[in-house]
Amino acid sequence: MSIFDAPIKTLTGEDTTLADQEGKALLIVNVASKCGLTPQYTGLEALQKRYEDRGFSVLGFPCNQFLGQEPGSAAEIQTFCSTTYGVTFPMYEKVDVNGDEQHPIYAELTAVADDEGNAGDVAWNFEKFLVSPSGKIVGRFRPQVEPEDPALVAAIESQLPV
């Protein structure tokens, strides 16, 4: 199964898949509202604004698996993201990124190793996966990598049409 085929719900509860994102470079991020890394929303939104017209999108997947740092309801998450950080990129339902209830999208993503050769479980909130327009997972960036990090920006730019 491709990441584009797995059923998912939007943050507003609508059934969907990522099929409407096929053909775009994607940065898939597990997000949380009460984490020390939450300010990364600012950089993620800046990436969205900078590259959305070039076939790119950030996709946010709230996750409460790391010290309960995403405790809110879908409505609370939506309100927090839009009012605090002005988030315009697509947000999806709260999912498990690790463990027995791991969402199928994350089962695909976590099979890919980072630059140091480490695959497997998501380490923490704000781990980033870069997906090519054809759906190939081409990069994995650990949580401490800021959205503005030159290596991440260069990787995104390498996936955009000229």
Q: Along the 162 residues of the chain, how does pLDDT read in single tens digits?
A: 789 999 999 999 999 999 999 999 999 999 999 999 999 999 999 999 999 999 999 999 999 999 999 999 999 999 999 999 999 999 999 999 999 999 999 999 999 999 899 999 999 999 999 999 999 999 999 999 999 999 999 999 999 977
Note whether 35 and 77 are within 8 A (CB): no
Q: Which of 132, 110, 130 is nearest to 27 (CA)?
A: 130
Cβ neighbors of 77 (< 8 A, separation 6 or more) are 11, 33, 62, 70, 91, 94
What's residue 2's pLDDT? 87
**Catalytic site residue 35?**
yes
Euclidean distance between CA atoms 114 and 112, whole angstroms: 7
Given 3, 8, 11, 35, the catalytic residue: 35
All structural domains of the chain, each given as residue ranges with its CATH number in brackets, are: 8-155 (3.40.30.10)
Euclidean distance between CA atoms 156 and 4, whole angstroms: 19
